[in-house]
């Protein structure tokens, strides 16, 4: 049996006014920059992190120019079985050795432990701030959170639940030099059987002597350093140079890590790139956690590490990003990862993802509710979105469209409208592949609170399917939903562009694509005459036969119009107007 930190609530920490988040054994935090992911991890560190806490006035939330009086972080802990499912009671070694009876709370006859970390200014403390942890009688769901009525006078410190935080700037070379790093703390515990100590230290002494005797420079330097005795005036003073540490207790201080690839020479890690050194730093954390877990098990003591990792993808190529998560999952304890990598997000279960986003109320959280999506829909989203479009997890908004033609045209028209690439603006365009697929995509967006829009065909059967899906979602139908733009007059995209008199632009696009396969100038001229002779029906046929290939050519041709008003078709412009009105992207 084990435990799980399953809920966290924060008030008045940095940009977070109020925030509540549920956690799994493995939780992935995604969202745009400056949405609150790192702030959340640092708040967790204040509540659970082992080691010295750095606090400043700027950590207190500011509202209307005034700093908050205190920072509050509430932690909710439950007992779980091997599958991570909640059970009724804590078992040994957690109860009664770690959690005592007067620290327990009960929710529908199930045990839990709830405590609050309160941080306030305190001039009597050396750093100017006090950090108190007190037991709560119940989870504080009050509208006036934080509510002091659920607080007790029991002050606690749960050393068996340490949080280890590694930020994106990790580097194993810094770890080697820092005695307080995970590597430094692990190597400081180096122990050798006492019988072996004298034997090894004798070998080290002889090795040092052999190195000195073999080097004229070191021998010369040793002789000159003997003059130190004359300066300090001490009798019997001798000076020795030790190229190699000759005491077992000092071995860790001179530690270095070498990497050898196949038949090449073994080189220290400072010869390698920051990606390799960053990865090595994570592996030292893995070693540190694993060692402490073994020691706790040997002593039959409670130990549940919580690992908070910021941007594991830093400096790593995509394949390494995927692999490092599998390594991270192998570590003991509970894992919380913040990431900007679509490759990492794609490897994670949908249920583990927490989407951070900013509103005018501050940071808010969205997550996938398995109760809203059936197994088929979850698999479809995993396959059709995350595996190939994981970047939508970091989008400011998502535009859904039916087919590949619109999906390829939209980014080109968007750049013409906003004068920036869509990825700079945080707009993702997603082809659903069919007019019947909108529902699961919209459920996904709504679960994660990602704003969504639709640019769709207006063919009668397509609109009927869309409206049915919207009704299933308890949303207004397409003719009443301002975020849905349909092409007019029962048209699909090809017929719409012809109706809008983009015939010459379409012919130019067909020629631009066709001339790539022309062998010479006369061949090009013949192809141009052929395309110019196409009637509308022939154009439709040609477009439907090569949707994926021809769409970008058509969009590029249209934005090259001499008439600026015609460079963006009306339906596309209407969509961008709606987006710009909501986000002010222009």
Q: Quick one: three-class SS letters along 231-251?
A: HHCCCCCCCCCCCCCCCHHHH
Among residues 272, 289, 312, the one where a domain terminates is 272
Bond from prior residue into 146 cis (ω within 30 degrees of 0): yes
- Assess if residue 569 is contained within a domain: yes
Where residue 489 falls (left for φ over 0; alpha for ψ -120 to 50; beta otherwise) is left
- Assess if residue 286 is contained within a domain: no
502 or 277: which leads in pLDDT: 502
Range of the domain at 142: 2-161+304-356
**DSSP secondary structure of 429-479:** EEE-SSTT-HHHHHHHHHHTT--EEEEE---HHHHHHHHHHHHHTT---GG
Whole-angstrom distance, CA of residue 106 vs CA of residue 555: 62
Give the DSSP H or E segment for 199.
helix 194-214
- Assess if residue 426 is contained within a domain: yes
pLDDT of residue 41: 95
Residues 143 and 253 reside in one and the same domain = no
- Assess if residue 282 is contained within a domain: no
Confidence of residue 251 (pLDDT cuts 50, 70, 90): low
Residues 132 and 259 reside in one and the same domain = no
Residues counted in the chain? 586
Residues 445 and 507 reside in one and the same domain = yes
- Assess if residue 520 is contained within a domain: yes
Q: How high is the mean pLDDT of the chain?
A: 87
Among residues 272, 289, 319, the one where a domain terminates is 272
Strand partners, 428: 398
Least confidently predicted of 129-143, 161-175, 552-566: 161-175
Whole-angstrom distance, CA of residue 413 vs CA of residue 422: 10
User: Is residue 228 over pLDDT 70?
Assistant: no
- Assess if residue 84 is contained within a domain: yes
Whole-angstrom distance, CA of residue 143 vs CA of residue 148: 12
pLDDT of residue 506: 92
Residues 195 and 154 reside in one and the same domain = no
Residues 228 and 130 reside in one and the same domain = no
Q: What is the pLDDT of residues 378-419, one digit of tens each?
A: 777 777 777 777 788 888 899 999 888 999 999 999 999 999
Q: What is the mean pLDDT of residues 195-222?
A: 84
Q: Find all residues with CB under 8 Å of 498, minimum gap 6, and list them.
A: 506, 536, 539, 540
Q: What is the pLDDT of residues 35-51, one digit of tens each?
A: 899 999 999 999 998 76
Residues 521 and 419 reside in one and the same domain = yes
- Assess if residue 348 is contained within a domain: yes
CB 427 within 8 A of CB 396: yes
Q: What is the pLDDT of residues 447-504, one digit of tens each?
A: 888 999 999 999 889 999 999 999 999 999 999 999 999 999 998 899 999 999 999 9
User: Is residue 65 over pLDDT 70?
Assistant: yes
Residues 155 and 225 reside in one and the same domain = no
Q: What is the pLDDT of residues 519-564, one digit of tens each?
A: 888 888 887 888 889 999 998 888 888 877 899 999 999 999 999 9
Residues 157 and 193 reside in one and the same domain = no
Residues 194 and 339 reside in one and the same domain = no
Residues 548 and 446 reside in one and the same domain = yes
Whole-angstrom distance, CA of residue 234 vs CA of residue 228: 9
Work out the burial of residue 570: count CB atoms within 10 Å of its CB; fewer than 13 is exposed, 13-18 middle, 19 or more buried. Answer: middle
Whole-angstrom distance, CA of residue 312 vs CA of residue 314: 6
CATH number at residue 29: 3.40.50.300
Least confidently predicted of 182-196, 271-285, 305-319, 519-533: 182-196
Residues 573 and 427 reside in one and the same domain = yes
Among residues 218, 251, 272, the one where a domain terminates is 272
The string over 349-361, giving b where at least 16 C-beta atoms fall within 10 Å of a residue's C-beta and e elsewhere, is ebebbbbbbeeee
- Assess if residue 297 is contained within a domain: no
Residues 348 and 394 reside in one and the same domain = no
Domain count, the chain: 3
CB 146 within 8 A of CB 140: yes
CB 145 within 8 A of CB 12: no
């Amino acid at each position: 049996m084990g435990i799980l930190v399953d809920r966290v609530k924060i008030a008045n920490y940095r940009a977070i006014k109020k925030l509540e988040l549920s956690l799994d054994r493995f939780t992935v935090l995604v969202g745009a920059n400056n949405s609150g992911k790192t702030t959340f991890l640092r708040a967790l560190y204040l509540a659970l992190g082992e080691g010295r806490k750095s606090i400043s006035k700027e950590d207190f939330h500011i509202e209307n120019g005034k700093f908050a009086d205190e920072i509050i972080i509430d932690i909710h802990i439950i007992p779980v079985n091997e599958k991570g499912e909640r059970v009724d009671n804590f078992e040994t070694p957690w109860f009664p050795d770690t959690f005592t009876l007067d620290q327990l709370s009960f929710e529908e006859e199930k045990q839990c432990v709830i405590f609050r970390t309160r941080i306030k200014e305190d001039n009597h403390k050396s750093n100017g701030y006090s950090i108190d942890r007190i037991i709560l009688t119940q989870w504080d769901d009050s509208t006036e959170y934080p509510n002091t009525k659920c607080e007790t006078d029991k002050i606690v410190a749960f050393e068996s639940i340490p949080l280890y935080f590694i930020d994106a700037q990790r580097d194993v070379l810094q770890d080697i030099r820092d005695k307080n790093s995970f590597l430094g703390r692990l190597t400081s515990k180096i122990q050798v059987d006492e019988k072996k100590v004298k034997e090894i230290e004798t070998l080290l002494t002889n090795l040092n002597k052999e190195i000195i005797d073999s080097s004229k420079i070191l021998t010369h330097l040793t002789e000159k350093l003997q003059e130190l005795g004359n300066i300090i005036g001490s009798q019997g003073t001798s000076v020795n140079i030790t190229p190699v540490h000759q005491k077992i207790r000092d071995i860790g201080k001179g530690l270095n890590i070498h990497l050898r690839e196949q038949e090449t020479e073994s080189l220290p890690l400072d010869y390698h790139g920051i990606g390799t050194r960053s990865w090595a730093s994570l592996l030292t954390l893995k070693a540190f956690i694993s060692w402490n877990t073994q020691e706790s098990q040997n002593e039959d003591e409670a130990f549940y590490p919580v690992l908070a990792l910021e941007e594991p993808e830093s400096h790593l190529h995509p394949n390494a990003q995927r692999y490092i998560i599998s390594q991270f999952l192998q570590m003991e304890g509970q894992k919380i990862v913040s990431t900007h990598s679509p490759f990492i997000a794609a490897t994670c279960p949908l249920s583990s993802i927490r989407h951070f986003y900013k509103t005018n109320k501050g940071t808010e959280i969205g997550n996938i509710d398995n109760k809203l999506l059936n197994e088929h829909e979850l698999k479809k989203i995993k396959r059709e979105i995350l595996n190939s479009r994981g970047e939508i997890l970091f989008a400011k908004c998502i535009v859904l469209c039916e087919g590949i033609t619109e999906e390829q045209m939209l980014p080109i028209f968007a750049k013409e409208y906003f004068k920036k690439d869509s990825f700079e603006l945080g707009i993702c365009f997603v082809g659903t592949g069919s007019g019947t697929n909108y529902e699961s995509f919209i459920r996904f967006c709504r679960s994660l609170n990602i704003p969504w829009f639709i640019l769709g065909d207006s063919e009668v059967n397509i609109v009927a399917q869309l409206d049915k899906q919207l009704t299933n979602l308890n949303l207004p139908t397409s003719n009443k939903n301002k975020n849905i733009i349909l092409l007019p007059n029962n048209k699909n995209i090809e017929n719409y562009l012809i109706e809008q008199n983009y015939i010459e632009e379409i012919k130019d696009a067909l020629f631009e694509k066709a001339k790539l396969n022309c062998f010479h100038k006369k061949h090009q001229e013949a192809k141009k005459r052929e395309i110019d002779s196409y009637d509308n029906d022939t154009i439709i046929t040609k477009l439907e036969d090569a949707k994926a290939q021809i769409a970008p050519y058509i969009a590029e041709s249209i934005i090259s119009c001499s008439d600026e008003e015609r460079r963006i078709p009306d339906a596309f412009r209407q969509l961008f107007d709606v987006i710009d009105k909501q986000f002010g992207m222009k």
